[in-house]
Structure 1
Amino acid sequence: MHAMQYEVTLPADYDMDVVRARVARVGHALDDWEGLGFKAYLMRERGVWGSPVNQYAPFYLWNTVRGMNSFLWGGGFQGLSDDFGRPVVRQWTGLAYDEGGAAGAPARVAVRERRPVPEGAVAGEAAEEAVRETARLAVRDGAVCAAAAVDTARWELVLFSLWAGDTPEADGDVFRVLHLSAPERARLPRGRQW
């Protein structure tokens, strides 16, 4: 499992209905993408849920590197680059994934928490704690799913969760889910990834 996200930060006075309309127009394009666990089309609006920015920031969980590479190099990503410029694409190696008690409900909100693995920390212990945190998030009321991943170039953990309601029980940056493409979500491996 691989996690991926890019952020397109937009001007403070940007009409975010443009992003909503874009997702309504093209969001279905990945609904059957081979190798994709899910893509959450995410948006933050300045002043909503404490966001300091307007931002379009899709988050992906990939079952296969082939699927991810097909998206990045085979044309899927080019449309975004044509519309907004080519953003930095962050990638993390999957540590854990769990379905939540609200797994069958539509995801309305997402929460992403990025945290460093401190210098001197035992990396394996930090990874095990992220696995436990994923399981704790998944059993909270309203959780659709939860995942943890790590970027070993930056020694950064990311905890990501989808929620059925507007009041997620998680800490981090809160995003509105505009669409969820989940062609292979059922195939995402559960629990610890090693």
Structure 2
Amino acid sequence: MHALQYEITLPADYDMGIIRDRVAAKGHLLDAFPGLGFKAYLVRERGVDGSPVNQYAPFYLWNTAEGMNSFLWGPGFQGLTDDFGRPVVRHWMPLAYEAGSAVDATPKAAVRHRRPIPEGTRLADVAAGLHDDAAVLSCVAGAVGVVVAVDPRHWEAVTLSLWAHEAPPERGDAYQVLHCSTPERDRLVQGRAW
């Protein structure tokens, strides 16, 4: 599996209806994309849920590198770069994916929590702790799914949780989910990925 996300931060007075219309028109194009576990079309709006910015920040969990590469080097991502410029793409190695208690529900909200992994920390303990956190969080009422992953270049951990209702208060950035493409969600490896 591969997790990735890019963020397009927009001006404070940007009409987020443009992003909503874009997702409404194009979101379905990845609903059957080979190799894609899920793509959550995430937005933050300035002044909503404590967000300081307007931002479009989709999050992907890929089953295959081939699917991810086909997207990044294909017309879909090129269309985004033509319209907004080429964003930095963050990439993490998933440690675990847990389907939530509401796995079949359409996600309405998401929370992303990023944190550094301190020098000197036992990595096996970090991985086990992240997996345990994902397992617990996935059992909370309304959880659609939880992925935990690590960027070993910057030693950063990320947790993304998807929710069928308003996200519970937890640390991290809160997002609205405009659409969720899930062509191969049923093929995602459940639990520990190491």
- TM-score, normalised by the number of residues in structure 1: 0.98
Partner of 1:109: 109
Partner of 2:70: 70
Select between 161-170 and 106-115 the one with higher mean Cα deviation.
Answer: 161-170
Q: Give the Cα–Cα distance (whole angstroms) in 2 for the partners of residues 55 and 132 of structure 1.
A: 30
Partner of 2:177: 177
> 1:44-67: CA deviations, max 9, x gaps?
001111111000000000000000
Taking only the aligned residue pairs, the percentage that are identical comes to 61
1:8 and 2:17 matched: no
Q: For structure 2, list consecutive stretches of 5 or more residues without a partner in the other structure.
A: none
SS in 1 for 2:72: helix
Partner of 2:54: 54
Structure 1 residue 170 displacement after superposition: 3.4
Partner of 2:136: 136
Q: How many residues align?
A: 194
Q: Which runs of 4+ in 1 moved over 4 A?
A: none
- TM-score, normalised by the number of residues in structure 2: 0.98
1:81 and 2:81 matched: yes
> 1:49-92: CA deviations, max 9, x gaps?
11110000000000000000000012221011011110000000
1:118 and 2:118 matched: yes
Please tell me the root mean square deviation across aligned C-alpha atoms, in Å: 0.8
SS in 2 for 1:95: strand
Partner of 1:94: 94
SS in 1 for 2:71: helix
1:192 and 2:182 matched: no
1:166 and 2:166 matched: yes
Partner amino acid for 1:28?
A: H
8 Å CA contact retained: 1:93, 1:150: yes
SS in 2 for 1:77: helix
Partner of 1:153: 153
Structure 1 residue 158 displacement after superposition: 0.4
Partner amino acid for 1:167?
A: A
Q: Give the Cα–Cα distance (whole angstroms) in 2 for the partners of residues 49 and 74 of structure 1.
A: 34
Structure 1 residue 184 displacement after superposition: 0.1
